[in-house]
Amino acid sequence: MEFIRYRFLMVLFFVVLNLNANIDGIRIQTIEAKKYGTVHIPLKDKRIKVSNSMFNLGYMKASSATKMLLKDDEYYVVVLEDKYSKGKLHMIIKGKDFKSIPHNIGVLTEISFLLCENFLGKNYNSQKIEETLDEIARKVIKTKGFVLDNKYEINYSDILLYTDGSTVVYKSHREDIKRLEKKIKKGTLTKKDAFEFVYEQKKHSYSIAKNKKRKLKPLYRIVVFLHIPKNEKFGSEIIRLKQLRKGSSPVENFEVLSENIPFRIKKNGSVIISSILKEDSYSFEAVAHTKDGKSNKINFTIVIDSVEEKQFLK
């Protein structure tokens, strides 16, 4: 019996050692945040056999097998490593977001991890993690590009959805990301680097009053994704568009850039039902018109559910 147990321990040790050795492809570990740094066996451990580095994976989604292991209100740490880098990439994510939000693990998630590391493991504090992650997002993200769960304020989901080169981050941060990526590859990125990146950049402010002569077009969220019930009444407001920037002149009207769409948009940004909902979903674009030009395009995806109450993407 003792011999069998000894052989089992030897095999287990060999497997763990092998996973940490020369990695063929990319290794992905998922670890409960409250256990991070205190146990050696992760909740989930797998490899992707690809030739890309961990910085070029793009959007990832949790597999069905992983989703079954996740608790909605618990935080998890995802760890990526490959044979091309001495350092690793980390992401902190809540279970319910892990299940529903496509995520891009990169420099911003690594920065967030470093600044939350003190609240993991034996010092686990989910409230502090949530507050810190949202604060980091507000310091780094200047423009919200995606609306999830009908939440318009900037929050940590904007970091999860960030892709390199995107202009949703402040310019000074954007210029610094490639430098920090090199540090991660060398394994030299520190908490001090992370703190300076988030909190010691130049202050960003923008005032239309200082640019009266410049014609500014209004700016809206890029993506609106929501569910509405099939029996919603004509004339009902399903969402009201909020502006990220008002522009130098008021909105005169909205234009829906598709035909036979059962929705119209009022001058104040209120999206209402204007005819019978015949399809299961609708995808279309719209723009706001001002005397200084059109706004950015707003991409709508509206799913029609046979339910009694409004639901939003979760």
pTM above 0.75, yes or no: no
**What was the pLDDT predicted at 312?**
42
Distance of alpha carbon 250 from alpha carbon 256, whole angstroms: 18
Of 222, 216, 285, the closest CA to residue 251 belongs to 216
Beta-bridge mates of residue 290? 293
**What was the pLDDT predicted at 214?**
64
**What was the pLDDT predicted at 79?**
94
List of domains in the chain: 22-199 (no CATH), 219-305 (2.60.40.60)
Phi then psi dihedrals of residue 44, to 5 deg = -145, 135
Give ∠ CA 160-186-190 in degrees, rounded to 5: 65
Phi then psi dihedrals of residue 64, to 5 deg = -60, -40
**What was the pLDDT predicted at 183?**
94
**What was the pLDDT predicted at 165?**
73
What residues contact residue 88 under an 8 Å CB cut-off, 6+ apart?
A: 54, 79, 80, 81, 184
Q: Can you give 71-134 as a three-state secondary structure string?
A: CCCCEEEEEEEECCCCCCEEEEEEHHHHHHCCECCCHHHHHHHHHHHHHCHHHCCHHHHHHHHH
**What was the pLDDT predicted at 108?**
95
**What was the pLDDT predicted at 24?**
64
How is residue 68 written in tokens? 């079954």
**What was the pLDDT predicted at 73?**
94
What residues contact residue 108 under an 8 Å CB cut-off, 6+ apart?
A: 140, 159, 162, 169, 177
Ranges of the chain with pLDDT below 70: 1-24, 40, 145-152, 201-214, 307-314
- Cα 223 to chain centroid distance, Å, stands at 13
Task: Count CA atoms within 13 Å of residue 23 on its CB side.
Answer: 27
